[in-house]
Amino acid sequence: MNRIGWSFLVRDCFLLLLLAVTPALAPADETAPARDPKQPINEGYTAKIKKYTTAPYFNSPLVDYLPASKNVPAPDAVLGDVAGAPGILPYAEDVYKYMRLLEKASPRVKVYSIGATEEGREMIAVAVSSEENLKHLDENRARLAKLADPRTIKLDDAEADRLVSQATPIYYITGTIHSPETGAPTALMELAYRLAVDESPYIREIRDGVITLITPVVEVDGRDRMVDIYRWHLAHPKEFYPPLIYWGKYVAHDNNRDAMGVTLKLTENVLNTYVGWKAQVLHDLHESVPYLYDNTAGDGPFNAWVDPILTDEWEMIGWRNVADMTKFGMPGVFTHGVFDTWSPGYLMFIAAMHNGISRLYETFGNGGADTEERTLDPADYSRTWWRQNPPFPKTLWSQRDNNNYEQTGLLTSLHFFNENKRLLLKNFYLKSKRSISKPTEEGPAAYVLPGDDPRLELQTELLQVLQRQHVEISRATLPFTVAFPPKKAKKSSKKEDAKDAKEKEKDAEPATREFPAGSFVIRMDQPYSRIADALLDHQYWSPDDPQKTPYDDTGWTFGELFNVKVFRVTDPKVLEAAMERVNEVKPAGGVQGEGSIFAINNNAEPALATLRYKLRDASMEAAEEPFEAGGKKFNRGSLIVRGVRRSDFDRAANEAGLHATALSAALSVRTHPVRAARVALVHTWLSTQTEGWWRLAIDNLKIPYDYISTQTVGRNDDLNAKYDVILFPPVGFNSSSTTIINGTATGWGNPLPWKNTTETPNLVGKNDSTDDMRPGLGWEGVAHLQSFVAKGGVLVTATDTSRFALSIGLADSVSVGTAQKMNIVGSVVSARLVDAASPIAYGYDEILSVYCDNGPIFSLSSIAGGRGFRRLGGHSTSRPTGRGTVDDPDFTVGRPGAEAPEEPTVELWEYPPVSDEQKRNGYRVIPPATRARVILRYADSKDLLISGLVEGGDEIAQHPAVLDVPAGKGHVVLFSINPVYRGETRGTYSLVLNTILNFDSLDAGRKLAEK
Ligand SMILES: [Zn+2]
Q: Write out the DSSP string of 425-487.
A: HHHHHHHHHHHHTTTTTT---EEEE-TT-S-HHHHHHHHHHHHHTT--EEEESS-EEEEEPPP
Between CA 285 and CA 269 the distance in angstroms is 17
Report CA(120)–ligand 1 centroid distance (Å).
23
Q: Give tens-digit pLDDT for 97-123.
A: 999 999 999 999 999 999 999 999 999
Under DSSP, the state recorded for 750 is: -
Strands (E), 552-702: 567-569, 579-582, 590-592, 597-600, 619-623, 627-629, 632-634, 639-642, 659-663, 671-673, 679-683
Angle, nearest 10°, between helix axes 529-536 and 456-468?
Answer: 140
Task: Kindly tell me the number of DSSP H helices and DSSP E strands found in the chain.
Answer: 28, 39
CA of 361 to the centre of ligand 1 (A): 9
Output the pLDDT for position 648: 96
Judge whether residue 7 has pLDDT over 60: no
What is the helix, strand, coil percentage profile of the chain, to 5?
Answer: 30, 20, 50
| Distance in Å, CA 579 to ligand 1 centroid | 43
Query: Which pLDDT band, with edges at 50, 70 and 90, does 25 fall under?
Result: very low
Q: 258 CA to middle of ligand 1, Å?
A: 13
Greatest CA span in the chain, whole angstroms? 116
C-alpha closest to that of 653 among 712, 714, 717, 599: 599
Average pLDDT over residues 799-822: 95
Using DSSP bridges, classify how beta strands 706-709 and 679-683 pair: parallel, antiparallel or unpaired.
parallel
The answer to whether residue 190 scores a pLDDT higher than 90 is yes
Cα of 288 from ligand 1 centre, angstroms: 7
pLDDT at 3 over 80: no
Instruction: Report pLDDT for 630.
Output: 87
**pLDDT tens digits for 981-994?**
999 999 999 999 99
From start to end of 309-465, where are the E strands?
333-334, 357-363, 372-375, 394-397, 446-449
Tell how far the Cα of 178 is from the centroid of ligand 1, in angstroms: 5
> Which residues are CB-neighbours of 783 under 8 A, at least 6 positions away?
none
pLDDT at 150 over 50: yes
User: 184 C-alpha vs ligand 1 centroid, how far in Å?
Assistant: 11
What is the distance in A from the centroid of ligand 1 to the CA of 255? 10
Task: Give tens-digit pLDDT for 410-451.
Answer: 999 999 999 999 999 999 999 999 999 999 999 999 999 999
Residue 48: per-residue pLDDT: 98
Structure confidence at residue 163 as a pLDDT band (50, 70, 90): very high
Q: Please report, rounded to a whole number, the percentage of residues in the chain having pLDDT higher than 90.
A: 87
The pLDDT of residue 864 is: 87
**Residue-level pLDDT at 817:** 92
d(CA 932, ligand 1 centre) in Å: 42
Distance 317 CA to ligand 1 centre (A): 21
Q: Are 623 and 649 in contact (CB under 8 A)?
A: no
Spatial separation of the C-alpha atoms in residues 146 and 436, rounded to whole Å: 13
Phi then psi for residue 623, to 5 deg, are -75, 135
Ligand 1 centre distance from Cα of residue 285 (Å): 7
**Ligand 1 centroid to 182 CA: how many Å?**
10
What pLDDT, in 10s, does the model give residues 849-885? 999 999 999 999 999 876 544 444 444 566 778 888 9
d(CA 605, ligand 1 centre) in Å: 35
Mean pLDDT within 808-816 = 93
Q: Is 959 helix (H, G, I), strand (E, B) or coil?
A: coil
Q: How far apart are CA 563 and CA 988, in angstroms?
A: 8
Q: Does residue 680 contact residue 706 with C-beta atoms inside 8 Å?
A: yes
Pairing mode, strands 933-938 and 827-833:
antiparallel
286 Cα: distance to centroid of ligand 1 (angstroms): 4
Spacing, Cα 993 to ligand 1 middle (Å): 33
**What is the whole-number distance in angstroms between the Cα of residue 360 and the centre of ligand 1?**
9
CA of 253 to the centre of ligand 1 (A): 7
- Ligand 1 centre distance from Cα of residue 314 (Å): 19
Distance 251 CA to ligand 1 centre (A): 13
Q: Output the CA torsion 370→376→382→388 (10° steps).
A: 0
- Tell how far the Cα of 368 is from the centroid of ligand 1, in angstroms: 14
For position 502, what pLDDT does the model report? 62
**How many Å apart are CA 798 and CA 973, to the nearest integer?**
8
- Residue 284 CA to ligand 1 center (angstroms) comes to 9
Residue 732's contacts (CB-CB under 8 Å, 6 or more residues apart) are 687, 689, 690, 800
What pLDDT shows up at residue 637?
98
CA atoms within 13 A on the CB side of 699: 16
Mean pLDDT over 535-547 rounds to: 97
| pLDDT confidence tier of residue 733, bands split at 50, 70 and 90 | confident
Averaged pLDDT of the chain: 93
Distance 261 CA to ligand 1 centre (A): 19
Cα–ligand 1 centroid distance for 363 (angstroms): 9
**Which residues in 11-49 are b (16+ Cβ under 10 Å) and which e?**
eeeeeeeeebeeeeeeeeeebebebeeeeebbeebbebb
pLDDT band for 490, please (50, 70, 90 cuts).
low
